[in-house]
Structure 1
């Protein structure tokens, strides 16, 4: 209870300062009243959904929107707070000076009036994150991008020169609210006409039932060499309360069955061979393995018991921290690892090929795109869906297409 009292006090302080900018610029009382009405509706809606949160059901779409709207209003207000407070750094000393030099003879309030120019600039700057977040909630989360890479290996089997892989990750089907947009993305994946489709975990938020409305849509995914998948940390149902361990286990088994019905070959610390013209690639899939309190069910040794050390290997592992902590230094040498998990935090600034930044980089060294270490590559997919915050700002949902080429490896 204490933390919520502190939260509301902090929120009230932020609101008070943000209101100063509106009060300076807007003289219409109806506009000022509308500010408080919207502010109270947003915080009230958030508190209502928070106190009605049922851990057995998990995070609902309605709760996600309540959280999203809170973020959409809170972030711009925090910017206004910073600017208004910075103005007060100058206003307060002036007020103190007037108090001691003019005393009771001072006319009006000791504080100098707020400057309209500063308030207008503050509101203009605050409009940028507000518009960006609102766009991210309504459009950005379905702003699918196809990112294409060509990776060159000197030991790639000749038959696989030009081989195309489509990777998707982090579907989080329980978060979707527009089935037509999801269907469009599936068509976009099929348009890539890749040889194989690889899914790197988190098919659902918590429960297998989330996937049922999208089962027919994902069944349309097509690649001539098949579709393969692994589990992510959310697929195990660890983030909701179950009536029994048996119910939790049954949920996981149901998810495995649905993935099979869709056409995915789910690799549970297993391997498969992709064969072409008498040559082969080893496809290795491990269960989730992650640092920072995440499940460590992945077992590389078990997954590669039928793989030769000299095989060309593609590893599917949901969490990129696995690559950093165990895979890079493994003597088996995994040529290409495909991961997801980070979502790029669904927020950041990115100019493809030039610049990318997200706060998630402080948590994960490898958080989005292609990285190379010790002659091995990893691609961290930014995710197909979204979780908790119902949108994406600057870091868009991703469909990755990787073409393998035979030749001298790039430095």
Structure 2
């Protein structure tokens, strides 16, 4: 049923968008080429979703089919909006002129041709951007650095640096050289601690088989710590049995250990320096809106006192909004991921930031602060579904902890 709805919507948008092309040329061959290309794009999408994906869901050819569909569909939506807007203005004016015999001329063909030209030019922007996002944007790794100040940070941890990555989604990768570059960039930060905040795979633990050796090279003086994200539980795969699903999760947990990552499952660890310590707390996935709630903050915080300085790893930022930021234990810093920044948006540092995902998540990218408690939402290391990124680039976060008040 959902495929039928998708097809109907696509056809309506496609036919309406064609009006812009038709305003510029009524050549029959151009019309044939337009609709044949549209048919091929949607047929390829249908075809790929009826082929075995190897458990990766959106990997390989299926991912590219999604990307091409989105590139064409987004550009046609722009065309349709322009044509609809022109109709909303044109039809009432033309009707008025006809009924009341207005002496003012209203040149429908010239006006429509001009707007069609403008619409096609603007439609080329999302089309080219989405193609670029697949070609280069998905591996265009960026390092984003933040300095956070805390009055109660232990003196020994003044200047302590934490590198964070999130949402690897290894089942979507197809370029070892690019991933090696991202890992090398992470290692170059030479932070005291490295954390990974969930979604190692799309569905299957086996997705990490080709990438395990590369990620095992990630290291830090005080270790590498990790948690699970919603995709790591295998909830989006059609398993032949419950045992197979449990075995997959067990295998994924072993993968963390094999890479030398300390996986925290509603647990905590203490990092000690010069007789002082900070607490690192890791919860399993906790999300709203139908996402898995395996996280147990009370269990994860057992043995951690209210006076300890605390860094919490929690995959879904909705957890911070719903439970963490008002918790009695005062979690100073929460590190999350999950949103990917929707892999699409506009960011002008220090001035403007927008992505459609902000209408779903209050905290969706970067640092947020409320009452002296902070959360960093990492934009993700990998990608999912759309095999690219536009404006929201793959991220390595580097957070430096400083003791004292925040500078004015």
Q: What is the TM-score with the length of structure 1 in the denominator? A: 0.92
Shift of 1:54: 6.7
Q: Would you say the 8 A contact 1:200–1:318 is kept in 2?
A: yes
Q: Deviations over 1:146-182 (max 9, x none)?
A: 0000011111111111111000000000011212111
What is residue 261 of structure 1 aligned with on the other side? 258
Question: 1:118 and 1:240, CA in 2 relative to 1: closer, same or farther beyond 3 A?
Answer: same
> 2:75: which partner in 1?
76
Aligned equivalent of 2:45 = 46
| TM-aligned CA distance change 1:6 to 1:200, over 3 Å | closer
Secondary structure (helix, strand or coil) at the match of 1:152 reads strand
User: How do residues 120-131 of structure 1 correspond to structure 2 at under 5 angstroms?
Assistant: 120-131=117-128
Q: Offset at 1:246?
A: 0.9
Q: Sort the Cα spacing of 1:351 and 1:57 in 2 relative to 1 into closer, same or farther, 3 A.
A: closer
CA contact (8 A) 1:167 1:400 kept: yes
Which residue in the other structure is 1:194 paired with? 191
Spell out, residue by residue over 1:31-86, the C-alpha distance to the aligned partner (whole angstroms, 9 max, x if none). 44332222111011112223446796633322221111111001110111111122
Find the aligned partners of 1:111 and 1:117 in 2 and give their Cα distance.
10
Aligned to 2:14: 15
Shift of 1:205: 0.6
Q: Is the 8 A contact 1:92 1:111 kept in 2?
A: no
User: How many residue pairs are counted as aligned between the two chains?
Assistant: 403
In 1: Cα distance, 2:247 partner to 2:335 partner? 28
Structure 2 partner of 1:376: 373
User: In the alignment, is the contact (CA less than 8 A) between 2:44 and 2:65 conserved in 1?
Assistant: yes
CA deviations 1:166-203 (Å, max 9, x no partner) are 00000000011212111100000001010110000000
Match of 1:364 in 2: 361
* Structure 1 residue matching 2:149: 3-state secondary structure: strand
Q: Deviation of residue 18 (structure 1)? A: 1.7
Distance in 2 between the 1:365 and 1:194 partners? 29
Root-mean-square deviation over aligned CA pairs:
2.1
- Structure 2 unaligned segments of length 5 or more: list them: 102-106
**8 Å CA contact retained: 2:59, 2:173:** no
Alignment TM-score, normalising by the size of structure 2: 0.93
Match of 2:58 in 1: 59
Say if 1:53 and 1:59, in contact at 8 Å, map to a contact too.
Answer: no
